Each structure stands twice: as C-alpha cells, then as structure tokens.
Structure 1
C-alpha cells in the first residue's frame, strides 16, 4: 500500500539502513480513517520511512511537520498527504528536531510544563503579576490614557452621557430660570479662570430620591448640579465652592481616568485613537460609574486644592465649601448613613477633606 503523499521507492527499504540511523515506534494514522496502526519509523538521510502491517512508505523529510511539544502529550509528526504519526519517544523526536533545526528552544518549555512545582510557581507568579498590575499598573496606564485623550473625544462622550443620564437618573429642574441663569454666569467666570481648554456648561436637574443633593462633572466639562444641592446651600459661595471642586476634577481629568480604570484599556486605546463610536458605546455605563464610584484620595485632594485656592483668592476663606460639606454630613442623620448616590458617596473621606480645607486656609493665613 502506498499512502497519499508518500514516495514509492522499490530500491529503498529498511534492510538498506546503516547502524546508528534514528528509529522509533509510533502509531500511524492514514488521514482517511480514525483507525491507528502500530508502526516502526526510521530516518535515512533526508527520508522518513514508515513500516506497518500492509504498509511500507517513504516521505521526504523536508515535508514532515513536527508539532510543538506540549506537556506530557504524545509527540505528533504530520506527514505529506494528511497522514500523521504519534509517539511517546520524546528523545527520538528531540533528536529529529535537532537534525532538522525545528522547534528550537521549545524543549525547555515542554520540560517546564511537565514539572508541576515549576508550573505551580508560574501560576502563582502570574497571579501576583496580575494583582500588582491591577493595583499599580492599570491606574498608571489609565492616567496616561486620560492625559492624552483628545478634548474633542471627551466632549463627544459628554453629549452621549447626558442623553443617558436624563430620564434614567435625573429629571427636569424646577429651579427658577432666572436663578439658573445667575448661577451659570458665576460658573462661566469661574470656569474661564480655572478650567483650561474645555467646553464647560452647567446643567441643573432634579435629583429626586435616587441622587439627592449632588454635583458631579463629566470628562469634557459638563457639570451637573441637582436642585436639592442648590436648596441645601445657604448662599452662592457654597455652590461655587462645590463647582470649583468639580472644575478641578475636569482639569485633572479624574473622570476620564476613572472610566479607563473601571471599563478597561480596550476602551482607552479606541478612544485615544479617536474612535468616537467606541466612546459613545460606553456612554450608558458612565452615569452609574461616576455616581457610584468614589474618586481616589489623591484625586479628591487635587480637586480640593483647586477649590481651596479659588475660594481663598476670592473670599479669603475655604469656609463656604466646609459649610456645605458639613451640612451634607448632618442631613445623613444621627446614624451617619448616606444614600448610595449622594455627594458624600461620590466624594468619600469627608472628614479628611474638611481637615484639608482648614489646612489650606491656615497655610494661606500664615503667609500673610
């Protein structure tokens, strides 16, 4: 029998081989059926010979493909025409690979895979690496991605996110339009002084029971303020203190960093590349992310630094922001329980924030 892909050579047979030629036992599959048959394989120069019951065939060695080693599985040789050989003689195959210059270096990989202590140590090492990457690497990469994201992409993300927020989390504001316009004028002056190259706009919404007294900024400069927060404030200075804090989040790109870190680097690469469609596709996830997730302590400190400096410059005190934060704490009740989506949930560490604001004021007074 001459299988497909083999070379029939009546002058070449196993009795012609000289001592020392490579040989090994294998299972032969003809590629036509699933049946295997025991076979003897020998290498003679650049020819591979297979002998089995009712079969004697030769194949050019250059046409033989040796599959890469994998743990303790049998080694596989794929023959021209679709036939294949499987063998447990790893030493013979390793010698054949050296002769043919195939799979160099993979023998070490196979030995490592077969050594369970090494394999276990590798798994532990990979898990440790992943843990360190999530704790340190991902935040660092998210920070880089946030800094290089084009402003136009963040503006597009804002527009999509506003549509996702309205009706789902917030409803139309009931504040007097004249009151809204007055606050917008004050905010425009603040943003022009503090905010950099962003398209800032101030939107008023009714927070209802779900959001309550809150303010939060989207990456491109859209800032939401709820009616409840405006009513909680005793004067415009308190509201402007909160808004200066939110402008700080925009300027330092904290929201964009939060999105990248939470939704993954795939989004980061697509957005950095200017794929606005990809940015729009995650807009539905952004509202819940920004409302439920707190910024890092470092991010809060940066935003409070900006707000504190602005308040000291214009009013000589950080008291307005301190007062409204205290009032938010008091409205949580004696048990100190806050609603899931209130300002304190979005801005954790209120005690440290108050202390930091007092320290900003004391430092400024010490320089006078």
Structure 2
C-alpha cells in the first residue's frame, strides 16, 4: 500500500497542479499498481513503475464519497484509480464542480452529532406528516375522487357487507317504502353528484341499532334503529347526519388515511383494480374505526340545520341519541360510523345540537 498524502502541502504544487498517491488498475488484469497521480490543467497523469499514462479529465468519473471508504476515479477503457487521500479528491471535485451535494452528505455522516440531528429531524418530520400532512392529502384525494369511482366502491362494498356483516331486513315492505319516500325527499334537497339510496338490513349483534353511509351515497339503516325510533323525524335526523358524512366525503378521507396515499391516488386516477382493493377493505374499516371530532361535528351541523329548517327543533336527533346511549351505554358499540362514535363524546354532541337550536331562535 502506498503512503497516503493527507498531509500534502498543496502550496508546493505549481498553479493548477494537484498530486496524490493512489492504486491503479488498468482494467485488463487484476494487478494493482502503486502509483502517483497528478492533475495538471485538463489532464490526469498517472506514473507507476514501468508505466506512465494520461487521461483527459472530461473522461474521468469521480464516484460519490461514501463514509470513510477509499475514493474511486473511473477512467476511460475500464481502468480505475483508488486513493485514501480524500482531501485531494475533494479539491479535484471542487475544481471540476462534481458531487457538491453528496460531498456535504459525506461530511455530515462523519459527524455523529449531525447524523443524530438528522435522524431526529426525520422522526419529527414523519410525526408532523402523520398528524397534519397525511390528513390534508387524504382530504384532497377524497374531494377529487370521481363520482363514478364512488359509485363503484359502493356497489362492491354492498356485496361484501351483505355477505359478511348484515342480514336481510325483516321490516315490512310498506314500512321500508314509507321511509324511503321520506329519505328521497331529503336526498333531493341535498343534490350533488351522489346516487343516494337507502338500504334496510338486520343489524344483529354486530351492528345493532345503527346507520352508516358508504362513500357514494348508499346509506344502511338497521331494523333495530327503526324500531328504536319513536317517530320518523328521529329516523330522518339520523339520515340527515349520514348524508352529511357523504357530502363532506368523510368516509373517503378515513379510507385514504387508513389504506395509504399510493392506493388513494390510483383510485383517483380511475384504476379499477385499486378501486376493487379499497372496496374489499371498506366494510371492516367502517365497522372498526372512528370519524374525527371535526367530521362528526360537520355531520351534526348538517343534520341539526336540516331539522331546524323542517321542524324548528333538533330534538328528534337528540332524543334518539339519548336512547342509544341508554341502550348501549356511554361507550356505544365502537363502530366506525356508529352514531355513538366517540369523537366527539355524546355529551358534546347533544350540547352542540342544543346550541344549533338556541342560535336559530
């Protein structure tokens, strides 16, 4: 191994000249030659025992620095030059304007405090992205998802829900049609690109007295909720709440945040395969997650104002929420789109509905 030139005094060189010890490989054999390299103007001259060869600098490639490994210069014809003289190669890089950013990275890697600060910075960035960036991107993706994709998600999700989660309704056809007519009037007022439709199912022990909406406007209501309601105004208050979730695209936001933005943007672009993958995950997601405080408040706002416009009171929704609390306890059923979703708490939701009524009087 040649002596290294880390202590080289560059002032001893003539102007424009740079010299360093290295190991030369000619690219034809595996033989390593101890050599002295010299850079003068636009030429790299390599001298070794019984060898003198020169290369134009424009044909020399300098590999980026990597920790404390030897620096490598790739030469025309497959030859290469290796050296431990990192200062000399750094000077050559500056002269040629090569690897400026990567050289900075290498210097930072060599300082443990800088490396530790970088790791902490990355962790802080990831935490902030998860808390703020991911919800913002999921909201954007939800808002620009085409209505046709929402309808496709609904169709596939209904098949999955009916297959694994809910049973056929036992309500009479006359009772179902009566509520459907009232819901159709509510949906017509809402307008928008959504194909609102109402489906009745037996909730069983898994879902119980509940209602939830799919992204494209399909709303499920369980027989147990219909029987729990004292009158149709209470049912319509619940349905107004669920249509609010649809219009604000809360379900799509939740889906995108949970399943990832790569899949989200594939769905937004109309990728049918990705849409099918999302649809397969929707039922479990809807039954095992929860809306944010803001989402529940927005849906309650919509329901509260709709009730005030039609009945002059928010009592119907308040009453059925209280009855659900009494039936299921203060924690509810823990369902994602459960009417008793814990964000915000039931007491806050009831207070918010009372505040809407008080502000309108």
After TM superposition, the score normalised by the length of structure 2 is: 0.87
Determine which of 108, 130, 133 is the counterpart of 1:134: 130
How far apart, CA to CA, are the structure 1 residues paired with 2:200 and 2:280?
20
Q: Deviations over 1:292-345 (max 9, x none)?
A: 221111111111111111112222221111111111111124xx4543435424
Gaps of 5+ in 1: 1-17
Q: Which residue of 1 aligns with 2:333?
A: 339
Q: Which residue of 1 aligns with 2:116?
A: 120
Q: Deviations over 1:80-122 (max 9, x none)?
A: 2333222221111122223333223443332222222122112
How far apart, CA to CA, are the structure 2 residues paired with 1:211 and 1:33?
75
Equivalences for residues 295-334 of structure 1 within 5 A: 295-333=291-329
How far apart, CA to CA, are the structure 2 residues paired with 1:180 and 1:218?
19
Q: Give the drift of 1:217.
A: 0.8
How far apart, CA to CA, are the structure 2 residues paired with 1:105 and 1:208?
62
How far apart, CA to CA, are the structure 2 residues paired with 1:101 and 1:305?
61
Q: Secondary structure at the match of 1:344?
A: coil
Q: Which residue of 2 aligns with 1:144?
A: 140
Q: Give the drift of 1:272.
A: 2.8
Q: Which residue of 2 aligns with 1:263?
A: 259
Equivalences for residues 275-314 of structure 1 within 5 A: 275-314=271-310
Q: Which residue of 1 aligns with 2:171?
A: 175
Judging changes above 3 Å, is the alpha-carbon distance between structure 1 residues 182 and 30 closer, same or farther for their aligned structure 2 residues? Answer: farther
How far apart, CA to CA, are the structure 2 residues paired with 1:26 and 1:183?
87
Q: CA RMSD in A?
A: 2.4
User: Does the alignment pair 1:352 with 2:328?
Assistant: no
Judging changes above 3 Å, is the alpha-carbon distance between structure 1 residues 64 and 233 closer, same or farther for their aligned structure 2 residues? Answer: same
After TM superposition, the score normalised by the length of structure 1 is: 0.85
Q: Give the drift of 1:220.
A: 0.9
Judging changes above 3 Å, is the alpha-carbon distance between structure 1 residues 279 and 32 closer, same or farther for their aligned structure 2 residues? Answer: farther
How far apart, CA to CA, are the structure 2 residues paired with 1:19 and 1:224?
84
Judging changes above 3 Å, is the alpha-carbon distance between structure 1 residues 178 and 37 closer, same or farther for their aligned structure 2 residues? Answer: farther
Q: Which residue of 2 aligns with 1:218?
A: 214
How far apart, CA to CA, are the structure 1 residues paired with 2:342 and 2:181?
26
How far apart, CA to CA, are the structure 2 residues paired with 1:265 and 1:212?
32
Q: Which residue of 1 aligns with 2:64?
A: 68
User: Does the alignment pair 1:26 with 2:22?
Assistant: yes
How far apart, CA to CA, are the structure 2 residues paired with 1:356 and 1:340?
21
Equivalences for residues 204-215 of structure 1 within 5 A: 204-215=200-211
Contact 2:214 2:246 in 1 (8 A): yes
**Paired residue total:** 346
Judging changes above 3 Å, is the alpha-carbon distance between structure 1 residues 206 and 37 closer, same or farther for their aligned structure 2 residues? Answer: farther
How far apart, CA to CA, are the structure 1 residues paired with 2:284 and 2:122?
32
Judging changes above 3 Å, is the alpha-carbon distance between structure 1 residues 53 and 215 closer, same or farther for their aligned structure 2 residues? Answer: farther
Q: Which residue of 1 aligns with 2:250?
A: 254
Contact 2:331 2:342 in 1 (8 A): no
How far apart, CA to CA, are the structure 2 residues paired with 1:234 and 1:35?
93
Judging changes above 3 Å, is the alpha-carbon distance between structure 1 residues 182 and 76 closer, same or farther for their aligned structure 2 residues? Answer: same
Contact 1:292 1:346 in 2 (8 A): no
User: Does the alignment pair 1:202 with 2:198?
Assistant: yes
Q: Deviations over 1:219-257 (max 9, x none)?
A: 111111112222222221111111010011111111122
How far apart, CA to CA, are the structure 2 residues paired with 1:137 and 1:58?
54
Contact 1:195 1:250 in 2 (8 A): no
How far apart, CA to CA, are the structure 2 residues paired with 1:213 and 1:363?
30
Q: Which residue of 2 aligns with 1:14?
A: none
How far apart, CA to CA, are the structure 1 residues paired with 2:143 and 2:126?
24
